[in-house]
């Protein structure tokens, strides 16, 4: 029997998975953006596009580093979700 708590638990697990998968890339992009902003403030360079290339490269590097872990997390979530679906309807 599907209860509200069951659906909320699946949603909570999906949100945590999203945070685990996106968190490292977002944190690294935030740090790189902060460092570049401090550099721009110290040197009075007001170029708005200066932060894009380092952030993109950082996100790609972090993605390449964490991709196996992210795929394993997603695979485990998907397998658990597919195992639960047949038990919903008897």
Summarised one tens digit per residue, pLDDT across range 58-68 is 999 999 999 99
Query: What's the helix, strand, coil split of the chain in %, to 5?
Result: 90, 0, 10
For the segment 1-47, what is each residue's pLDDT rounded down to a tens digit?
778 898 899 999 999 999 999 999 999 999 999 999 999 999 988 88
**Residue tagged 């894009």 (tokens):** 52
CB 55 within 8 A of CB 33: yes
Phi-psi region of 44 (alpha: psi -120 to 50; beta: other; left: phi over 0): left
Binning pLDDT at 50, 70 and 90, where does residue 51 land?
A: confident
Nearest CA among 6, 4, 5 for reference residue 84: 6
| pTM of the predicted structure, to 2 decimals | 0.79
Q: Report pLDDT for 90.
A: 62
Binning pLDDT at 50, 70 and 90, where does residue 48 land?
A: confident
């Amino acid at each position: 029997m599907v209860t509200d708590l069951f659906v909320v638990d699946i949603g909570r697990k999906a949100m945590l998975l999203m945070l685990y998968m996106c968190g490292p890339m977002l944190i690294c992009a935030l740090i790189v953006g902060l460092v570049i902003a401090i550099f721009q403030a110290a040197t009075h360079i007001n170029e708005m596009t200066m932060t894009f290339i380092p952030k993109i490269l950082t996100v790609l590097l972090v993605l390449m580093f964490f991709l196996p872990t992210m795929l394993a997390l997603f695979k485990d979530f998907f397998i658990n979700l597919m195992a639960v679906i047949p038990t919903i309807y008897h």
